[in-house]
Copies of this chain bind each other. A is one copy, B any other.
Amino acid sequence: MIDLMIPFTDNKSAPYYEQIYCFIKKEIQEGRIGAGEKLPSTRQLAEKLSVSRSTTQLAYDQLVAEGYLEARPCRGYYAAEVESLLSMPERGSEETELLLEASGEEREEGMLDFSPRGIDLGHFPFSVWRKLSRETLQEGNREFFASGLPRGEQKLRGAICDYLRASRGIHCRPEQIVVGAGSEYLLMLLWQITGKRRIAMEDPTYRQASRVLQSLGHDILPVAIDRSGMRADLLAQSGADMAYIMPSHQFPTGAVMSVSRRREILNWSVEVPGRYLIEDDYDSEFRYRGRPIPALCGSDYAGRVIYIGTFSKAVAPAIRVSYMVLPEELNRRYDEVCGFYASTVSRVDQEILARFLEEGYFERHLNRMRGIYRNKHDALLEALEPLRKDFRISGQMAGLQLLLESCRGEREETLIARAAQAGVRVYGLSAYFLKPAESHTVILGYANLEEEEICRGVQILQEAWSTKEMA
């Protein structure tokens, strides 16, 4: 076993768990810890470094989530195989401030029910939005009512660039960004650049995207996922020339694409000219444990990744502003083919959003919402504890929903019907399948419920799904 002596720096620069994470990641990336080598247990490392065990656990969890470590049940943690090609970009401390929330102890207990598409609007920053809106709608600001730049205003694109660099590890220029009224609209523009394609999609996936892509005339090729994301071997066999993926937090499964899988997928994209990856980074803001997972786009040195982000989840669904970052080749083609399209977002809204980002309101709003969602998430996991003997829970690292898979082999229809009879609505995973298949998994979204409702909902589910009731 490796002896890790981590040289903690001034502890104000970054929390211990993050220093441990960075140190081990670098050791693995640079080959000083080889693939397959066993690491000390979290307890051993905690004792050695004189930190709490939750600190080492948090670092390991993050390394596992990103694919640097493998957790083998009852055996411990082992270094995974990683190629240096895909070393994650270094990011500054702004990111730490902006996105790292789960610095304290881990809380993994709690539960609820309801729609996986819900959002908690109870904390929408009305007064700030109203203030920015009022200040924008001044007589002196007539220019906001004139036609704007086709790709979106410079100020907003600049603010998005800053955000992406600080929080998602993406280094891009405002000239690569296209702002649009929703991701669906951006997919329409993209279709005009790439033409009809054969697009591999994770199965299950975000069905709204598959519907849009299909409606645009693309062929959709379902590719199965495992714990590390879309299976690269199946992608290679699929005949696809494009892939639509959610590496940071797959919807609806919550799978995080591992580092080696990222490398494989990126390698696939460069094997044949003209292949592209669409990275849908729809909710990377809401991660409750450890460091945020960097965007795949930040590791894309070959210009194969089209990055799509949105403010619908992080601010509010009615804020119809999404954006895409185009790799250089497609960016040039955009100018040729779509350069004449006027922006679909009003300049007033662009100005309000740009100021919301630039003046730190977005950061504060995210921090607040992350706390609120984490509390709900934790309440849900805690309430679910008694169900663990019959259900496998997954997707709990991030996002706004969890998956419950019946270990007793009950079908989702049965689970949904039982829950509905008892007055609780849960959702079947099969609604997200591209290829119809039997499912034993239900989804519980919790964003739109209060903690008390979550707990009550789970108690009802426990009763409704008890062996006695199901028999």
Contact = CB atoms under 8 A, between A and B. Distances in A.
A181 B320 contact: yes
A348 B145 contact: no
B340 A145 contact: no
B182 A344 contact: yes
A219 to B, nearest CB: 16
B133 A342 contact: no
A312 to B, nearest CB: 8
Interface in A188-236: 188, 192, 208, 211-212, 215-216
Nearest to A316: B145
Given A124-B142, A317-B147, A208 B346 contact: no
Contacts of A117: 147
Interface in A320-370: 320, 337-338, 340-349
Nearest to A122: B142
Interface of A: 117, 119, 121-122, 124, 126, 129-130, 133-134, 137-139, 142, 144-148, 181-182, 184-185, 188, 192, 208, 211-212, 215-216, 316-320, 337-338, 340-349
B346 A318 contact: yes
Nearest to A208: B340
Nearest to A145: B316
A181 B318 contact: no
A192 B188 CA distance: 10
A148, A319, A346, A349, most chain B CB atoms within 10 A: A346
Contacts of A338: 215
Given A134-B134, A145-B316, A340-B208, A181 B185 contact: yes
A185 B344 contact: yes
Contact of A144 (B148, B216, B318): B318
Contact of A138 (B126, B139, B192, B340): B126
Number of chain copies forming the complex: 2
Given A181-B181, A320-B181, A137 B129 contact: yes
Contact of A341 (B121, B192, B212, B340): B212
B344 A181 contact: yes
Nearest to A127: B139
B318 A344 contact: no
Contacts of A133: 133-134, 137
Contact of A337 (B147, B181, B208, B215): B215
B137 A341 contact: no
A134 B142 contact: no
Q: Give 5 nearest A-B pairs by CB, closest first.
A: A181-B344, A145-B316, A130-B137, A147-B317, A181-B181
A327 to B, nearest CB: 20
A422 to B, nearest CB: 26
A342 B137 contact: no
Nearest to A131: B137
Nearest to A141: B126
A434 to B, nearest CB: 15
A119 B142 contact: no
Nearest to A148: B318
A139 B123 CA distance: 10
16 contacts: A117-B147, A130-B138, A133-B133, A144-B318, A147-B317, A147-B318, A181-B185, A184-B342, A185-B344, A215-B337, A318-B347, A320-B342, A320-B344, A320-B345, A320-B346, A344-B344
Contacts of A337: 215
Contacts of A212: 340-341
A248 to B, nearest CB: 22
Given A212-B341, A317-B147, A340-B211, A139 B126 contact: yes
A181 to B, nearest CB: 4
Nearest to A338: B215
A318 B146 CA distance: 5
Nearest to A128: B137
Nearest to A315: B145
A319 to B, nearest CB: 6
Give the interface centre of A117, A212, A341 by most chain B CB atoms within 10 Å. A341
A145 B123 CA distance: 11
A318 B152 CA distance: 11
Contacts of A185: 181, 185, 188, 344
Contacts of A124: 142, 145
Given A320-B345, A341-B212, A137 B126 contact: yes
